[in-house]
Amino acid sequence: MTWLRIFYLVVILALVTLVLLPAQLICLALDLPLRRRLPRLWHRVACHALGIKVHVHGSVEAAKPLLLVVNHVSWKDIMILGSVVDVAFIAKNEVRNWPVFGLLARLQKTVFVAREDKRKAGAQVNEIAQRLAGGEIIVLFPEGTTSDGNRLLPVKSSLFGAASSAADQVPGQMVNVQPVAIAYTGIQGMAMGRYHRSVAAWPGTIELLPSLMGLMRAGNIDVDLCFGETIPFHRGDNRKALSMSATTAIRDMLNFALRGGWRKSR
């Protein structure tokens, strides 16, 4: 059964990629607005093929510019977010050269940042500000790495420099920052406990293929995607205060979902 699921996944993704890839390449070359929407279709198909059912709570902030700050559990987070919202991600520069994910990231016009190279910081911040000002929704994973899915790791307030610097450059000198929580809560229609959440999590010690195989063996999973109240961040506001507010909001939503709060209403 596992190999049948993998075969189905490969065939479905290959077909949809063959259809969408040429169009996306053209849209990227011409910088057409459609380049933001095509990836959502690919991510929806990928979630279906992987057996991921996304339950959305709340809604995406309509006002722009908009920065989403999200807890990070797995490579699947990209597909889950991408299946619901037309977004671009901020990722560390090494992701550019990763197999599969590097190509997908480039096709979605991810903003790659070299955190250790201070000389490039200005150009990277300018790109983020320009993309936000252009109406794109940018995603930031403020933990800086993936967790085990059972808790929120310490948030790096320095990563909120993207919001601080962008607020200096965008029209109105204000960025809307919306906290978002991703919680893996169900497996085969039943509640997912701490033990089973390792199926969904992707710690840095596990390679992609074993992680994928574990997901295929486990079967369908349920994910709660929770959108919190937007935090307006103006030029001159305190970055650490923003970090604390966003951290509290994400942690509260994550804990509520992991305790089964949303499952009771389904």
What is this structure's pTM? 0.91
- CATH number, domain containing residue 107: 3.40.1130
Angle at 43 between CA 207 and CA 36, to 5 degrees: 120
Find the mean pLDDT for residues 64-82: 94
Task: Specify if 225 maps to a domain.
Answer: yes
pLDDT single digits (tens) 45-61:
999 999 999 999 999 99
pLDDT (0 to 100) of residue 7? 85
Given a cut of 90, whether residue 119 has pLDDT beyond it is no
Task: Specify if 105 maps to a domain.
Answer: yes
How far lies 136's CA from each of 43, 58, 231, in Å? 17, 20, 17
Task: Specify if 25 maps to a domain.
Answer: no
Task: Specify if 152 maps to a domain.
Answer: yes
pLDDT (0 to 100) of residue 156? 87
- Give the separation between CA 90 and CA 105, rounded to whole angstroms: 10
Full domain range(s) for residue 223 = 51-265
pLDDT single digits (tens) 150-207:
999 999 888 888 888 888 888 889 999 999 999 999 998 888 988 778 888 887 667 7
Share of the chain above pLDDT 90, in %: 52
Counted domains in the chain: 1
